[in-house]
Amino acid sequence: MNDSNKASTPKVDIEGVGKIFGTGEGAIEAIRRVDLTVHENEFVSIVGTSGCGKSTLLNMVGGLDEPTSGEILIDGVPVHGPGRNRGFVFQSYSLFEWMTVQANIRFALEKSDLSKAEKDRLVGHFIQAVGLSGFENAYPKQLSGGMKQRVAIARSLVYKPSILLMDEPFGALDAQTRGMMQELLLQVWEDHKVTVLFVTHDVDEAIFLADRVVVLGSRPGVVKRQLSIDLARPRSFEIVTDRKFSDYKREILTDIREETLKVMELEHTIAD
C-alpha cells in the first residue's frame, strides 16, 4: 500500500459496528463495537477462531446484511445494500454450469451500458489476467477447482469494482493450487489497484497476502489486534522462510490460541 493513502479518506470505514442475530433469550451477539479503517488499494486479511464473525463482517461491508448498531461507509457514503463498487468472491465458485467461461464472466456486465466491443475487450482482458486464455469456451464441469475460482475472480473484477471482498476463496483447494492462486491474486491486485478485504483461517495465507492482518476475538467478535505486515513486495513463496514472517505468524497464532482457549473454557462451563 502506498504511504500517501494513509492520510487520505478511508476507502472502508467501519464505525462501532455490532451485529445481533435473533431476539430475546435466543439472541446471539456475533460482533461487538468493531472499528476498522481500510485505505484505498490496501490488502487486509481478517483471521480469528471459527464463529468469531469474520464472514458476518464481510457480508455487512458487502451490503448483504445490515449492522444492528454502528455504521459502515464506503468512500464516506453509508452502506445500505450491495453495490457495483464491491465485488464478492466466495469459497463456493457460484458459476453457471450451463455457461462457458467467457459467458460466466460476461454475465457480470449484463446490466452495463458499455458497448458490445468494450464488453468483449474487458472479458478478454480478465480471461488473460487470470491465466485462462484458451479456455474461453470451456464449461465449469471441464475445469479444475483452481480454474473455477479464477473464473469467479475474473467475474468479480470485470465490472471494475473498487473493493474486492473475499471469503475463504481458496479454502477448498489443495495446497499446491492454493499457493498458485495466492500468487495470482497478488499479481491481479497489483495490476488493477483494488482494495481487498480477505477472510481466511490460514495464518500463512493471511500474512503472505496482506498489508495488514486483523485478528478478531472469539464471539462476540471484537478487534483483538491489527498487525502491519512489513514484508517487501512483490512477494514470492520464499518469503515464508523470512524471520519476520515467522515472528508475525507466532504473534497471530498466540492470539488465536488464546481466543480458542476462551471458547473451550466457556463450552466446558456451559456443559457443567
Supply the pLDDT for residue 24. Answer: 85
Assess contact for 127 and 112: CB atoms under 8 A: no
Assess contact for 28 and 92: CB atoms under 8 A: no
On the question of a cis peptide bond just before residue 67, with omega within 30 degrees of 0, the verdict is: no
Give the pTM. 0.91
Q: How far apart are CA 44 and CA 175, in angstroms?
A: 22
Within the chain, all domains assigned CATH 3.40.50.300 are found at: 3-85+163-174+192-271
Q: How far apart are CA 68 and CA 146, in angstroms?
A: 36
- CA separation (Å) from 238 to 78, 176, 179, 208, 243? 41, 14, 12, 10, 11
Assess contact for 52 and 218: CB atoms under 8 A: yes
Assess contact for 182 and 17: CB atoms under 8 A: no
Nearest in space to 197 (alpha carbons), one of 179, 181, 187, 209: 209
Supply the pLDDT for residue 91. Answer: 83
DSSP secondary structure letters along 212-239: EEEEEPSSSB-EEEEEE----SS--GGG
Supply the pLDDT for residue 4. Answer: 45
Supply the pLDDT for residue 1. Answer: 56
CATH code that applies to domain 3-85+163-174+192-271: 3.40.50.300
The residue whose grid cell reads 466457556 is: 266
Supply the pLDDT for residue 163. Answer: 96
Q: How far apart are CA 46 and CA 203, in angstroms?
A: 9
- pLDDT of the chain, 272 residues: tens digit per residue: 545 444 567 999 999 999 999 988 889 999 999 999 999 999 999 999 888 899 999 999 999 999 999 999 999 999 999 999 999 998 887 899 999 999 999 999 988 889 999 999 999 999 999 999 999 999 999 999 999 999 999 999 999 999 999 999 998 899 899 999 999 999 999 998 899 999 999 999 999 999 999 999 988 889 999 999 999 999 988 899 999 999 999 999 999 999 888 776 665 565 55
Supply the pLDDT for residue 62. Answer: 96
Bridge partners for 45 per DSSP: 198, 213
